[in-house]
Amino acid sequence: MDASATPAVIPQSEIALLANILALATRNMSNLSTLITQLSVELGHSPDPHLQRVGQRVLADVDVLAQSLDTQWELIGALARFCPLLSRTPLVKPSLVTEIHITELPERT
């Protein structure tokens, strides 16, 4: 392509279609990440120490993936001006990993 050539103008309808496809793909990646997180937690409860370590490593990897998905959701949000459907749909990604701190255990009766 010649650098001096004027780039073609992309119609808003095509941008909206691409934005919808990107949002759907990102939502699917978020859902898959949630399933992998749930599987990793189950592995962490295994009596097998090897499976426990695998579960912990995968949880760390999913955390890195979650950060990338955060960026992707921000970029998709920037496309909302081209796609009214996106502006009506909350683009909040689900939390893939939740850290809890237990300070007190309930007493057994």
pLDDT on residue 101: 66
Helix residue spans in the chain (DSSP H): 12-44, 49-78, 84-88
State the average pLDDT over residues 94-100.
60
Provide the pLDDT confidence category of residue 75 given band limits of 50, 70 and 90.
confident
The 10s digit of each residue's pLDDT in 34-64 is 899 899 888 888 899 998 888 889 888 888 8
Rounded Cα distance between 20 and 63, Å, is 25
pTM across the whole model:
0.61
